[in-house]
Structure 1
Amino acid sequence: MARSDTDGKPGVGRARTITDLARLAGVSAGTVSRALAGNSLVNAKTRDRIQELARDHGFQLNRVASNLRRQKTGVIGVVIPLGHDRRQQVSDTFFMTLLGHLADALTEEGYDLMLRRVIPDHDGDWLDRFIGSGMIDGVIVIGQSDQFARIEEVAARYRPMVVWGNREPGQVHCAVGSDNRLGGQLAARRLIEGGATHLAFLGDPEPIEFAARYAGARDAAEAAGVPIDVYPTHLSPDRMAGEITAHIDTIVGRANGIFAATDTLAVAALRELRERGVAVPGRMRLVGFDDLPISAQTMPPLTTVHQDIAAGARGLVDLLLRRIAGEDAASLVMPPALVARDTA
Structure 2
Amino acid sequence: MSAQDDRNTRTTVRTITDLARLAGVSPGTVSRALAGKSLVNAKTRDKIVSLAREHGFRPNQMASGLRRQKTGVIGVVIPLGHDSRQQISDTFFMTLLGFLADELTREGYDLMLRRVVPETDPDWLDRFIGCGMIDGVIVIGQSDQFERIEDVADGYDAMVVWGNHTEGQRHCVVGTDNRLGGRLAAERLVAAGAKQIAFLGDTTAIEFAARFAGADDVVRRMNLPPIITLPTHLSPDRASEEIAAHMAAIAGRVDGIFAATDTLAALCLTALRERGIAVPDDVRLVGFDDLPIARQTVPPLTTVRQDIGAGARGLVDLLLRRMAGEQTESLVLPPQLTVRQTA
Q: 1:130 maps to what in 2?
A: 128
Counterpart-to-counterpart distance in 1, 2:313 and 2:67: 28
| CA deviation string 1:124-155 (max 9, x = no partner) | 10000000010000000000000000000000
Moved more, 106-115 or 271-280: 271-280
| CA deviation string 1:32-68 (max 9, x = no partner) | xxxxxxxxxxxxxxxxxxxxxxxxxxxxxxxxxxxx9
- Number of paired residues? 277
The answer to whether the 8 A contact 2:157-2:323 is kept is yes
Q: How does 1:76-87 map to 2 (within 5 A)?
A: 76-87=74-85
Q: 1:62 maps to what in 2?
A: none
Q: 1:271 maps to what in 2?
A: 270
Q: Cα distance, 1:323 vs. partner?
A: 0.2
Counterpart-to-counterpart distance in 2, 1:250 and 1:220: 24
Unaligned runs of 5+ in 1: 1-67
Secondary structure in structure 2 of the residue aligned to 1:294: helix
Q: How does 1:202-213 map to 2 (within 5 A)?
A: 202-213=200-211
TM-score of the aligned structures, taking structure 1 as reference length: 0.79
Secondary structure in structure 1 of the residue aligned to 2:276: coil
Q: Cα distance, 1:69 vs. partner?
A: 11
Q: How does 1:301-340 map to 2 (within 5 A)?
A: 301-340=300-339
Q: How does 1:182-261 map to 2 (within 5 A)?
A: 182-227=180-225, 228-261=227-260
Instruction: Supply the AA of the counterpart residue of 2:237.
Output: D
Counterpart-to-counterpart distance in 2, 1:131 and 1:85: 23
Q: 1:110 maps to what in 2?
A: 108
Secondary structure in structure 1 of the residue aligned to 2:340: coil
Secondary structure in structure 2 of the residue aligned to 1:313: helix
Counterpart-to-counterpart distance in 1, 2:166 and 2:250: 32
Q: 1:63 maps to what in 2?
A: none
Secondary structure in structure 1 of the residue aligned to 2:134: coil
Counterpart-to-counterpart distance in 1, 2:92 and 2:155: 30
Cα gap change, 1:260/1:70 in structure 2, threshold over 3 Å: closer, same or farther?
same
Q: Cα distance, 1:70 vs. partner?
A: 5.8
Instruction: Supply the AA of the counterpart residue of 1:160.
Output: A
Q: Which has the larger radius of gyration?
A: 1
Cα gap change, 1:326/1:69 in structure 2, threshold over 3 Å: closer, same or farther?
closer
Q: 1:44 maps to what in 2?
A: none
Q: 1:21 maps to what in 2?
A: none
Secondary structure in structure 2 of the residue aligned to 1:95: helix
Counterpart-to-counterpart distance in 2, 1:293 and 1:224: 32
Instruction: Supply the AA of the counterpart residue of 1:248.
Output: M
TM-score of the aligned structures, taking structure 2 as reference length: 0.80
| CA deviation string 1:161-220 (max 9, x = no partner) | 000000001000000000000000000000001100100000000011000000000001
| CA deviation string 1:208-245 (max 9, x = no partner) | 10000000000011111222110000001111011000
Unaligned runs of 5+ in 2: 1-65
**Percent of aligned pairs with the same amino acid:** 72
Instruction: Supply the AA of the counterpart residue of 2:258.
Output: F
Q: 1:176 maps to what in 2?
A: 174
Q: 1:57 maps to what in 2?
A: none
Counterpart-to-counterpart distance in 2, 1:70 and 1:143: 28
Counterpart-to-counterpart distance in 2, 1:132 and 1:325: 19
Counterpart-to-counterpart distance in 2, 1:225 and 1:269: 26
Match of 1:154 among 152, 166, 180: 152
The answer to whether the 8 A contact 2:67-2:135 is kept is no
Secondary structure in structure 2 of the residue aligned to 1:141: strand
Secondary structure in structure 2 of the residue aligned to 1:240: helix
Moved more, 249-258 or 307-316: 249-258
> Deviation above 3 Å: which 4+ runs of structure 1?
none
Counterpart-to-counterpart distance in 1, 2:204 and 2:168: 20
Match of 1:142 among 137, 140, 143: 140
Counterpart-to-counterpart distance in 1, 2:133 and 2:188: 47
Q: How does 1:22-61 map to 2 (within 5 A)?
A: none
Counterpart-to-counterpart distance in 1, 2:204 and 2:253: 23
| CA deviation string 1:278-309 (max 9, x = no partner) | 11000000000000011011111000000000
Q: Cα distance, 1:277 vs. partner?
A: 1.6
Counterpart-to-counterpart distance in 2, 1:262 and 1:225: 26
Counterpart-to-counterpart distance in 1, 2:262 and 2:292: 9
Counterpart-to-counterpart distance in 1, 2:180 and 2:249: 27
